[in-house]
């Protein structure tokens, strides 16, 4: 019951009236301080953990092969939810989680990279769907967000803002993490609140972002409780794990040597048997059949088996390590005086396991997504390094299928449970007494915010900052805390991502798989040709028996119901365009304007997303830097774009200008000046003459100082599509380094960068080349969510 003395339906809470007395002087006056907002008495602390790209059948707590001791322990103290659902993809799932609304209803029908100018798809979370951070903060909570943020629009993600849709603008007092679908775990692109920051040590010194963010979260919680012990907190902890790149410290990946040599079919079968034994899946559940797009393990070569098993060993190490760090955070929370009044919600994945490594996996995901293949033999040469700082690995799709046992399909496929069903564990010592219990109720991400508000005795607000709020789409699941037999909290839920659709209603689910995560060659727009399937999941937990032919009338009934839900929650217009959506014009911070050819930047202009920076690819271009070398001791990066996966950097080292081009680490070209940079002011110019004749061709790189040529080198191949998830900047190379000749960020010191001008020649690509380029952008964007 909501406390009657405070009306919490409109936020911020009204300013309290002055309760003192104001006379003519201080002698006949009485001061009284306004009381700060306080939550209802007994409101719990909240630790909300969300892993990334983990399937239903991967963690040991739910029968999987990867040991997750922290999750195991938490499950013994709390409850396991075996019918919990996500949206099947990153950004939409995260938006639904923090707002309590269906993803279309909060403007996040798909990924930021694919945003279109429709309210449900513009990726601009509206003020009418305030986040749990905002609601709890205005009710007196301390709020924080650590790790991944893929809910800030691409075009708002630079240090120029605006910051309304950054975590701090959405009600979280403190943010420490990255703003993207993924980041390099050894060289992360980090922000603290709205300020770009660098890790405090290098990979050689033992740095890994997973440990770093855990340390930060522990420190924030302890500091908050030290200063305000009676103030409850919300800590939203969202690791990049286990999204690619799969970066596992050596000791963790080596723990799993030989454990996946039997292959994905046998590992999946073993998972299925454990799930039955543990009661994770009901007796009689069938293991769905292997689809034709998964290769037979026994049909692979010896080298393929060796490499593919290593990819999975590395992934297992990454996931187990991430869980261990989550455990360290949980232990810190348990050490607090009010630990018994802390709700811990541990959600294992924002979607199912990912197939985005393709059929053979990769050690450089960006290279593969740019259409540059690597061979099994190439990858075996760095077998022992897979998962280390110099790799960016992802396992083959066979392991994703395996990891979603017992279900069909994978991440992105919102029509089936392989994309949408994820494990969840909830612990609340003060209220949950059925330790180790299993809860079979059909639940969804949108139910988490209402559950937290219910636990805190706080109502969903009618208005926030004067903006009328949309009703919560989710419902509280607190009734399930007391009993496994609690009435179903949700009897209907729609699903849609990239035109993959489903509708659940009272035990039945109808679904239509429309697109493949690893293919862009389908013909868009043919929704009427989709084959709708039908399952009775009260009797068929894994969606193994398609009943569409037996009950065509039920299929039609549910299709109409899906249409009604789509209208209600603004799912329309359906849009299955891949490259077309990706390249549709979006709000532009400048660099993303496709018609712009001249740019000027100054020192400190860094952390620009690649989509917001000058696109030098597939065309001639010049870079002119005006430098003041002072007394001749300047060194560091002048301008860089990209990172370890691919990119370019113009820098000064050992007194000489250098231009370095990194072609997916396969080819590196350094253009080193024959002359030292003179003292005082000068102009360094890099002129790149592109060969033309197609995408990703070579060119001639000429380096000049004050108009005099000082070096010239041939660059045989260039990147056609994307450099990766690293950024563009002037005055340093943030994130992973473009060049292996320096350590990041290699800030420019000992002199001054006056300005950097970049001029682009007109693009000269045919229509077919433009189409091919769009497909490469599409492949990249589909991978990083």
Please enumerate in sequence order all residues whose Cβ is within 8 A of that of 472, keeping only pairs 6 or more positions apart, or say none: 100, 101, 446, 449, 450, 460
Nearest alpha-carbon partner for 392 in 59, 696, 784, 695? 784
CA separation (Å) from 146 to 99, 213, 217, 479, 736?
17, 6, 7, 29, 20
What are φ and ψ of residue 55, in 5° steps? -85, 165
How many helices and strands in the chain, by DSSP H and E?
A: 16, 30
The helix (H) or strand (E) run that includes residue 178 is strand 174-179
d(CA 664, CA 641): 13
Instruction: Say what the pLDDT of residue 2 is.
Output: 40
Q: Taking residues 728-732, what's their average pLDDT?
A: 95
Which range is least confidently modeled, 201-205, 261-265, 518-522, 671-675? 518-522
Model confidence at 311: pLDDT above 60: yes
Residue 751 has pLDDT above 70, yes or no: yes
pLDDT the model gives residue 768:
76
Predicted confidence band at 595 (pLDDT cuts at 50, 70, 90)?
Answer: confident
Place of tokens 């603004």: 570
Tens digits of per-residue pLDDT, 685-722?
999 999 999 899 999 999 999 999 999 999 999 999 88
The pair of structure tokens assigned to 108 is 């996040």
% of the chain exceeding 90 in pLDDT = 85
Task: Specify which residues 197 forms β-bridges with.
Answer: 190
Q: In the chain, what are the domains? A: 598-784 (2.60.120.200)
State pLDDT tens for residues 39-79: 999 999 999 999 999 999 999 999 999 999 999 999 999 99
Taking phi over 0 as left and psi of -120 to 50 as alpha, with beta for the rest, 597 belongs to: alpha
Q: What is the mean pLDDT of residues 710-736?
A: 94
In the structure, what pLDDT confidence band is assigned to residue 4 with cuts at 50, 70 and 90? very low
Say what angle helices 302-334 and 69-77 make with each other, to 10 degrees: 50
The residues, ordered by sequence, that sit 6+ positions from 227 with a Cβ below 8 Å of its Cβ are none
pLDDT, one tens digit per residue, over 552-583 is 999 999 999 999 999 999 999 999 987 667 76
Q: What is the pLDDT averaged over residues 92-100? A: 99
Which range, 16-20, 198-202, 259-263, is most confident? 259-263
Torsion of CA 173, 179, 184, 187, to 10 degrees: -60
* DSSP code at position 43: P
pLDDT, greater one: 596 or 77: 77
CA 455 to chain CA centroid, nearest Å: 28
Asked if pLDDT for residue 589 goes beyond 70, the answer is no
Question: Token pair for residue 306?
Answer: 């060796």
Helix, strand, coil shares of the chain as percentages rounded to 5? 25, 20, 50
Average of per-residue pLDDT across 437-458: 98
Q: How confident is the model at residue 776 (pLDDT cuts 50, 70, 90)?
A: low
3-state DSSP call for residue 692?
A: coil
Identify each DSSP E strand in 91-202 by its residue range: 142-149, 174-179, 190-192, 195-197
Distance of CA 472 to the CA centre of its chain: 24
Q: Which residues pair with 649 in a beta bridge?
A: 640, 660
What per-residue confidence (pLDDT) applies to 585? Answer: 74
Name beta bridge partners: 601: 756
Q: Please report which confidence band the pLDDT of residue 769 belongs to, taking 50, 70 and 90 as the band edges.
A: confident
């Amino acid at each position: 019951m909501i406390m009657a003395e405070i009306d919490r339906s409109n936020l911020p809470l009204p300013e309290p009236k002055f309760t003192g007395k104001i006379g003519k002087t201080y002698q006949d006056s009485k001061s009284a301080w306004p009381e700060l907002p306080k939550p209802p008495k007994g409101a719990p602390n909240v630790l909300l953990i969300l892993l990334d790209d983990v399937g239903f059948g991967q963690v040991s707590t739910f029968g999987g092969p990867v040991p997750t001791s922290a999750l195991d322990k938490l499950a013994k103290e709390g409850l396991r939810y075996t019918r919990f659902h996500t949206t099947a993809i990153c950004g939409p799932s995260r938006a639904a989680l923090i707002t309590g609304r269906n993803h279309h209803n909060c403007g996040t029908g798909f990924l930021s990279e694919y945003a279109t100018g429709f309210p449900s798809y513009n990726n601009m979370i509206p003020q009418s769907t305030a986040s749990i951070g905002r609601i709890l903060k205005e009710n007196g909570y301390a709020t924080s967000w650590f790790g991944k943020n893929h809910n800030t629009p691409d075009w708002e993600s630079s240090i120029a803002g605006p910051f309304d849709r950054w975590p701090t603008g959405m009600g979280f007092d403190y943010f420490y993490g990255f703003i993207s679908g993924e980041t390099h775990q050894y060289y992360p692109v980090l922000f603290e609140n709205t300020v770009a920051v660098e890790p405090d040590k290098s990979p050689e010194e033992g740095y890994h972002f997973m440990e770093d963010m855990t340390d930060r979260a522990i420190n924030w919680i302890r500091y908050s409780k030290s200063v305000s012990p009676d103030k409850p907190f919300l800590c939203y902890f969202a690791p990049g794990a286990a999204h690619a790149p799969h970066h596992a410290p050596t000791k963790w990946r080596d723990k799993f040597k030989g454990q996946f040599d039997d292959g994905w079919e046998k590992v999946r079968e073993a998972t299925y048997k454990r799930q039955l034994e543990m009661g994770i899946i009901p007796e009689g559940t069938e293991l769905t059949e292997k689809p034709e797009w998964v290769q037979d393990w026994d049909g692979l070569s010896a080298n393929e088996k060796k490499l593919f098993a290593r990819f999975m060993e590395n992934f297992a190490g990454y996931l187990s390590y991430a869980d261990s760090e989550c455990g360290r955070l949980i232990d810190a929370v348990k050490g607090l005086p009010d630990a018994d009044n802390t709700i811990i919600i541990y959600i294992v994945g924002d979607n199912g396991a990912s197939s985005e490594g393709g059929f053979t996996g990769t050690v450089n995901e960006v290279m593969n997504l740019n259409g540059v293949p690597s061979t099994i033999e190439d990858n075996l040469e760095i077998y022992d390094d897979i998962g280390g700082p110099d790799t960016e690995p992802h396992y083959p799709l066979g392991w994703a299928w395996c990891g979603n046992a017992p279900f069909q399909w994978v991440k992105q496929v919102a029509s089936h449970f392989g994309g949408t069903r994820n494990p969840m564990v909830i612990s609340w010592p003060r209220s949950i007494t059925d330790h180790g219990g299993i809860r079979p109720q059909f639940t969804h991400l949108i139910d988490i915010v209402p559950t937290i508000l219910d636990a805190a005795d706080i109502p969903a607000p009618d208005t926030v900052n004067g903006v009328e709020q949309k009703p919560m789409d989710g419902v509280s699941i607190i009734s399930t805390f007391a009993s496994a037999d609690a009435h179903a909290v949700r009897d209907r839920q729609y699903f849609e991502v990239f035109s993959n659709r489903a509708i659940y209603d009272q035990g039945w689910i109808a679904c239509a798989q429309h697109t493949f995560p690893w293919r862009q060659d389908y013909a868009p727009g043919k929704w009427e040709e989709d084959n709708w399937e039908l399952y009775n999941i009260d009797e068929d937990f894994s969606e193994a028996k398609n009943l569409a032919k037996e009950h065509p009338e039920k299929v039609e009934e549910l299709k109409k119901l899906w249409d009604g839900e789509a209208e209600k929650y603004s799912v329309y217009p359906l849009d299955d365009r891949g490259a077309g959506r990706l390249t549709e014009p979006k709000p532009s911070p400048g660099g993303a304007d496709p018609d712009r050819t001249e740019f000027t930047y100054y020192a400190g202009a860094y952390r620009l997303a690649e989509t917001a920076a000058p696109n030098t690819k597939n065309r001639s271009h010049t870079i002119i830097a005006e430098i003041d070398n002072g007394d001749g001791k300047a060194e560091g990066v002048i301008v860089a774009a990209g990172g370890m996966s691919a990119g370019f950097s113009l820098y000064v080292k050992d007194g000489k200008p250098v231009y370095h081009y990194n072609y997916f680490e396969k080819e590196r070209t350094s253009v080193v000046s024959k002359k030292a940079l003179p003292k005082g002011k000068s102009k360094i110019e890099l002129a790149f003459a592109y060969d033309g004749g197609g995408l990703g061709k070579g060119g001639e790189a000429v380096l000049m100082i004050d108009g005099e040529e000082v070096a010239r080198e041939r660059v045989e191949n260039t990147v056609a599509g994307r450099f990766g998830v690293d950024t563009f900047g002037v005055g340093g190379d943030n994130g992973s380094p473009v060049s292996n000749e320096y350590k990041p960020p290699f800030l420019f010191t000992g002199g001054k960068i006056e300005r950097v001008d970049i001029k682009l020649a007109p693009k000269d690509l045919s229509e077919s080349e433009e189409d091919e380029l769009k497909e490469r952008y599409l492949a990249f964007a589909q991978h990083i969510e």
